Amino acid sequence: DVKVTQSSRYLVKRTGEKVFLECVQDMDHENMFWYRQDPGLGLRLIYFSYDVKMKEKGDIPEGYSVSREKKERFSLILESASTNQTSMYLCASSPTLPAALNTGELFFGEGSRLTVL
Amino acid sequence: DAKTTQPPSMDCAEGRAANLPCNHSTISGNEYVYWYRQIHSQGPQYIIHGLKNNETNEMASLIITEDRKSSTLILPHATLRDTAVYYCIGSYSGGGADGLTFGKGTHLIIQP
């Protein structure tokens, strides 16, 4: 089975701290994604990456950066955490396949719930 | 991604078929319809997708209207474990390299 592992299920940080959220996938997928999920707003895409060292902004990149030094690992960085970044963060991955084989499936981790005090 | 509209919540009795509707009147000809679900405290899980034809897999069936403006996800024999938020998404590439745009979905509650 595909496994997407997020390093921490629950984190509590203070305003102004630098926060790293780590995500590792074991299926050699090219594409990786970071979403945040808030009540009433659904999932929103923060950043994604389609290759090592490549990154693209999603819908809400402000206040975040990412790092993809290795294919299996995609890190989300909050340079200076703020209370409005309290949220559930979800990492996902997907393979790049020929159109005829592409199911369009994203594989998600279990999420990291971050609280910024 | 195409804009989709789903009811915010639905109930279904355990053992009955759960039929979840989705309107996607602005979907373009080569956009697929994807369904995911999210059980509480877990990440979303892919269920099924389709373009024009009806599709069935071990989890569910997807019925797409001929004009492609709406679709229905069918869980044939709902169980309590099917209680979740179900997302309907229109997309060219699915996961692909661009991700998916998730709306608010339908909270399906299976009643014992």
- The number of beta carbons lying within 10 Å of the beta carbon of residue B77 is 10
Measure CB to CB from residue A42 to each of B41, B97, B105 and give the nearest one.
B105
Please report the pLDDT score of residue B97 as a whole number. 59
How far is B24 from B109, CA to CA, in rounded Å?
23
Q: Residue-wise pLDDT tens for chain B (112 aa)?
A: 678 999 999 999 999 999 999 999 888 888 889 999 999 888 999 999 999 989 999 999 999 999 999 999 999 999 999 999 999 998 876 555 567 888 889 999 999 9
Please report the pLDDT score of residue A42 as a whole number. 84
Residue of A nearest to B41 (CA): A110
Q: pLDDT, tens digit, for every residue of A84-94?
A: 999 999 999 99
Residue A116 has pLDDT above 80, yes or no: yes
Query: Would the CB atoms of A104 and B104 count as touching at under 8 Å?
Result: no
Q: Which of A38, A43, A57, A107 to mutate to test the interface with B (most CBs of B within 10 A)?
A: A43
A94 CB within 8 Å of a chain B CB: yes
Residue of B nearest to A96 (CA): B96
Please report the pLDDT score of residue A58 as a whole number. 92
Compute the nearest-CA separation of B78 from chain A (Å).
Answer: 23
Which residues 6+ apart lie within 8 Å of A2 measured at CB?
A25, A26, A27, A29, A93, A107
Q: pLDDT, tens digit, for every residue of A7-43?
A: 889 999 999 999 999 999 999 999 999 999 998 888 8
Question: Cα–Cα distances in Å, from A22 out to B21, B42, B49?
Answer: 36, 17, 29
What's the length of chain A? 117
For residues B110 and B18, the answer to whether their CB atoms sit within 8 Å is yes
Q: Which of B39, B88, B102 to mutate to test the interface with A (most CBs of A within 10 A)?
A: B102
How far is B33 from A102, CA to CA, in rounded Å?
13
Structure tokens that stand for A56 in this block: 């693209």
* 3-state SS string for chain B: CECCECCCEEEEECCCCEEEEEECCCCCCCCEEEEEEECCCCCCEEEEEECCCCEECCCCEEEECCCCCEEEEEECCCCHHHCEEEEEEEECCCCCCCCCCCCCCEEEEEEC
- The number of beta carbons lying within 10 Å of the beta carbon of residue B79 is 12
Structure tokens that stand for B1 in this block: 């991604």
How far is A9 from B52, CA to CA, in rounded Å?
39
